[in-house]
Chain A
Amino acid sequence: MQTVTIKPRKEIRISVEAENISPDKFAGKTEKEILSMEAWMGNQKTTLGELFSVKVDGSGAAADTKIVMDGDFSRIKRIGEGMTAGLIMIKGNVDMHLGAKMSGGKISVTGNVDSWAGREMKGGELIIEGNAGYYLGAGYRGETCGMRGGKITVLGSALDFVGEHMCGGEIIVKGNTGILPGLSNNGGKIVIEGNTSRPGSEMAKGTIIVNGTVDEMMPVFKVEGTETIDGVTYRKYTGDVIVNGKGVLYVK
């Protein structure tokens, strides 16, 4: 078992590309090695050691590596990018692209995350106790597949385009979401406990369940009557008929 504890040395105002903060990259590494890992701050190349204090206990493979991050990481991007195993626990807020392309392991955040969290993730789990920004679990510009697998849970709310181009996996938002969740999705499941607007536009496949109110429905769904899931009766819609979609939208 390896535990790596990371704290900011100072207030960081310029965004940092920190894709090296990942159990895969830290596994088996010493404090010195981690301190000297590369990071870009704005257009300047720097090291993790310049920005953070790092403490390493023990040594282990990625699956046995736990990264504990304590402090304000609201300008630190790409934490846990592409991770395949292990654990990242963040006490604080983080910037964009948290857990992008991750395929395994678990990331938990006590604060808020910025946009593109869980972008194109393939597996693993992402738990966000605060709020999420735009494009949660979506595909980046031009991609036809966003999230393909794994699970994202947001205890707070999320902004627009939750699960855009989603092809698999599951997203649960306990609060509200912005407009167009599940835009152009092609699989997977999105559960919104709160309110939203215009869900499921252009969806080809996949499931969206809304337990709150839908402010505005897109006029692209076929009404399929009602269906009861776990004792709750929903209005059921299928579509988007414009793209011959087979997606299913349940609204309470």
Chain B
Amino acid sequence: MELLIKNGAVYDPVNGIAGDRADISIKDGKIVEKVSSGASVIDAGGRLVMAGGVDAHSHIAGAKVNLGRLMRPEDSRIGLKSRTKITRVYSGYTVPNVFAMGYRYAQMGYTTVFEAAQAIMKARHTHEELEEIPIIDKGALTLFGSNWPTMDYVREKNLDKLAAYVAWGLLASRGFGVKVVNPGGGEMWGFGKNVTSLDDVVPNFDVTPAQIIVSLMKANEMLRLPHSVHLHCNNLGKPGNYKTTLASMELAKQIKPAKDRQVLHVTHLTFNAWGGTNWGDFESKADEIANYLNNSDNVTTDMGQLIFGSATTMTADGPVQYANAKLLHAKWGNGDVELEDASGVVPIFYAKQISIHAIMWAIGLELALLTKDPYKVLLTTDHPNGGPFVNYPEVIALLMSNKKRQEEIKTLHEAVHKRTKIPGIERELDFNDIAIMTRAGPAKVLGLLDTKGHLGVGADADVAIYDIKPDQIDPSVEYAKIKSAFQSAAYTIKGGEVVVKDGQITATPMGRTFWVDATVPEEQTEIMMKDIRMKFKNYYSINLANYMVQDAYVTHPKVVKAGAIPVKVS
């Protein structure tokens, strides 16, 4: 099957194309040099063309997403769409059903999305849901930060075993990368406690969060994994936590990347760039984080932008969710994954007139606007923690228009003037910056730049065409048009197939699931497995044979190879 997209105003930062008229040739799901004269043709007519969107951090599948659905039946009453010949019934806003995940991402021109956290033990559930999400390619990051074997090997300073465990954990969970959430805190929460700094010692394991982060970064680079360690910092959700965030970023300096990417991705900064000492003097410290990013090259971040209205917070950070539920008098879902992690789910409503929410709204935007290099700040809402992903077009419009921001600021609590820098920031991002923050950046951060996030020859034929003519629009003023165009793509092409036309789903092919098969020397795996077998014998409530995600759960896999090479990492 051949397809030619003619006459697009193409933004492809990876290949240095910024709004030039270019044709894109597609054959058998890939972008190629040229196609034959028999190819079907889409005339973009000068409209905006970008690669399919890539989301490196979103909670789209798994145990806690489903707990959110169970806790929020009221959410599933929102946005109900009947079955059509092509689409199935879908509904929900903050915790939509599986079909809505695929359809709505595709409608925005997104074609690749990564679930940000799965415990190995719950991975089968994650994949059961991923299998039902239509259209988009996806993958899931696996939690390693509070796992007993991780902490044992960190204490023993046995990096070979740790690397073998990470490789095996990715295989067991069919996972894509190493996610670390409040390292050590997940274990402490089993005793109703938490860690409060990078140097707190986790009882029974005698390790600190800093040691866990550094060791996992080393193991990650030993295994040459496509993605870096993906960190949800300690002290998230507490005023003054920007210091912990900066200290965590500082740890990355000890490590050299094994690939052309960061060594640490620090996620959803809206929740951990907080100054002050309590809720009274709470303020934004996004400028300090941005300043750090401007002077550092081994750390990337994402916004986790807050969206006013309903959201559902869900995270493997169990203790922060208990605190949230108490603070908000809200419903509270708590989870414990034996030997591995904790979790919590709490619904929230972000209100413009609540000072803390207004400041948090500013943090994500400040970070994106004060950081010079858009490759270092990805566009996310930490769906559904900051707000549902369907609001990305709103975020794009806010980033592209100071006028829109100023109008929004007028409706917010006055604290946004005194305790954030956002009112004075005039920078407006252009289409190239947006293409980086939503395409090239996430693909690079994930280590998928060979096939995702750009439109060069050899890339996956994932393309979005938006109903905007970049040379005829002033995003600074016509922000409403920008928002509506990004909400509903004129065309979304996934793997060479038109899946969305004029905002309507036209086909629902099954996307692939990315996972990483990292090889380590067999004898290392054997030594490590002795410990794992003991853990199962002594502690786990299930058998090892029932723990691994079988291939039957991943019917459209895309296996990315990685592996240890005999090079010592500092």
Contacts and interface: CB of A to CB of B under 8 A. Distances in A.
Interface of A: 139-144, 204, 243
Nearest to B69: A142
Contacts, number: 17
Interface in B62-108: 71-75, 77
B81 to A, nearest CB: 15
A2 to B, nearest CB: 30
Contact of A141 (B73, B329, B331): B73
Interface string B342-358: 00000000000000000
B489 to A, nearest CB: 30
Is the interface on chain B under 10, 10 to 19, 20 to 34, or 35 or more residues? Answer: under 10
A40 to B, nearest CB: 11
A33 B434 CA distance: 48
Secondary structure at the A interface, as helix, strand, loop or mixed, is: loop
A224 to B, nearest CB: 23
Interface centre among A140, A144, A243 (most CB of B within 10 A): A144
17 contacts: A139-B74, A140-B73, A140-B74, A140-B77, A141-B73, A141-B74, A142-B71, A142-B72, A142-B73, A142-B74, A142-B75, A143-B74, A144-B74, A144-B330, A144-B331, A204-B329, A243-B329
Given A142-B73, A142-B74, 15 more contacts: A139-B74, A140-B73, A140-B74, A140-B77, A141-B73, A141-B74, A142-B71, A142-B72, A142-B75, A143-B74, A144-B74, A144-B330, A144-B331, A204-B329, A243-B329
Contacts of A139: 74
Contacts of B331: 144
A176 to B, nearest CB: 29
Interface string B286-312: 000000000000000000000000000
A35 B306 CA distance: 46
A244 to B, nearest CB: 9
A114 to B, nearest CB: 19
A171 to B, nearest CB: 21
Contacts of A243: 329
Interface string B328-343: 0111000000000000
A205 to B, nearest CB: 11
Nearest to B77: A140
A204 B328 CA distance: 13
Contacts of A142: 71-75
Nearest to B72: A142
Contacts of A144: 74, 330-331
A16 B72 CA distance: 26
Contacts of B77: 140
Nearest 6 pairs of A and B residues by beta carbon: A142-B74, A142-B73, A141-B73, A143-B74, A142-B72, A140-B74
Contacts of B71: 142
Contacts of A143: 74
A89 B477 CA distance: 51
Contacts of B330: 144
Interface in B20-38: none
B526 to A, nearest CB: 49
A138 to B, nearest CB: 12
B166 to A, nearest CB: 38
A143 B347 CA distance: 11
Contacts of B329: 204, 243
Nearest to A145: B74
A187 to B, nearest CB: 14
Contacts of B73: 140-142
Nearest to A143: B74
B85 to A, nearest CB: 16
Contacts of A204: 329
